[in-house]
Amino acid sequence: MSDAPKRHLSTRVIHAGQHPDAATGAVSTPIYQTSTFAFTDADQGAARFSGADPGCKYTRLGNPTVAALEACVADLEGGCGALGAATGMAAVNAVYLALLGSGAHVVATDALYGPSRLVLETEYSRYGVSATFVDTTDLARVEAAMRPGTRMLYVESPSNPTLAVTDLEGCARIARAHGALMVVDNTFASPLLQRPLELGADVVVHSLTKFINGHTDVVAGMIVARDPQLLARLRKVHQTLGGTMDPHQAWLVLRGVKTLALRLARAQANAQTIAAWLEADPRVSWVRYPGLASHPQHELASRQMAGPGAVLSFGVEGGFPAAKRFIESLRLATLAVSLGGVETLVEHPASMTHAGLPRAEREAAGIRDDLVRLAVGCEDERDLLADLDQALTVAQHVPQPVTAR
Active site residue 266: no
Residue of 32, 113, 124, 154 with catalytic role? 113
Report whether 235 contacts 272 (CB < 8 A): no
CA 321, CA 335: separation in Å to the nearest integer? 16
Is 342 within 8 Å of 130 (Cβ atoms)? no
**Catalytic-role residue among 60, 141, 233, 255:** 60
Q: Which residues contact 335 (CB under 8 A, 6 or more apart)?
A: 327, 328, 345, 346, 347
Q: Are residues 75 and 224 in contact, defined by beta-carbon separation less than 8 angstroms?
A: no
Parallel, antiparallel, or unpaired: how do β-strands 150-156 and 105-109 relate? parallel
Q: Is 210 a catalytic residue?
A: yes
Do 245 and 66 meet the contact criterion of CB atoms below 8 Å apart? yes
Catalytic pick among 75, 135, 185, 370 = 185
* 18, 254 contact by CB (below 8 A): yes
Annotation marks residue 235 as catalytic: no
Instruction: Mention every residue, 6+ apart, whose C-beta is less than 8 A from residue 195.
Output: 76, 77, 78, 186
Q: Given 12, 48, 210, 235, which residue is catalytic?
A: 210
Burial class of residue 304 (count of CB atoms within 10 Å of its CB; 0-12, 13-18, 19+): buried
Query: 207, 179 in Cβ contact below 8 A?
Result: no
DSSP codes of every residue in 119-148: HHHHTGGGGT-EEEEE-TT-HHHHHHH--T
Short-list 30, 58, 17, CA closest to 251: 30
The residue type found at 81 is G
60 catalytic, yes or no? Answer: yes
What secondary structure letter does DSSP report for 197?
G
* Element holding 222 (H helix, E strand): strand 221-225
Q: Cα 14 from chain centroid? A: 20
Which sequence positions are flagged as catalytic?
Answer: 60, 113, 185, 210
